[in-house]
Amino acid sequence: MFNVNGFKATLIQNNRNDENSYYDDQDKQEVEIKVCPYNVDMTVKFGTYTIPEATGYFITKAKVDVREGDQLIINDRTFSILKVQDDWIWNKVANIILAVK
């Protein structure tokens, strides 16, 4: 349910190949995804968790493999993903909300 024209972004996925290589800084994969800026000030705070150290929020499609600690490059700016939250509509995951710093 991602019905907007988003920005093209590069998602750097860290440590996806081997489960025992948590600290391997060479294990990186780059994936092109679409994201949309998300304004948490306009949301209802009932049930929404915000993160104090986050500088921004983005929405992406529900099928994207993203984890905390990955990096997001948008318009030559690099963001670190602090938290990944599911956005549910009608008993299914519609979007993923990324809190970035």
List the one residue out of 57, 66, 69 whose CA is nearest residue 99. 57
User: What is residue 23's predicted lDDT score, i.e. its pLDDT?
Assistant: 67
Residue 88 has pLDDT above 70, yes or no: yes
User: What is residue 13's predicted lDDT score, i.e. its pLDDT?
Assistant: 92
pLDDT tier at 18 (50, 70, 90 boundaries)?
Answer: low
Q: Which residues of 53-70 are buried (b: 16+ CB within 10 A; e: fewer)?
A: ebebbbbbbeebebeeeb
State the Cα–Cα distance between residues 23 and 6, nearest whole angstrom: 32
Neighbours of 28 (CB within 10 A): 14
Residue 78 has pLDDT above 60, yes or no: yes
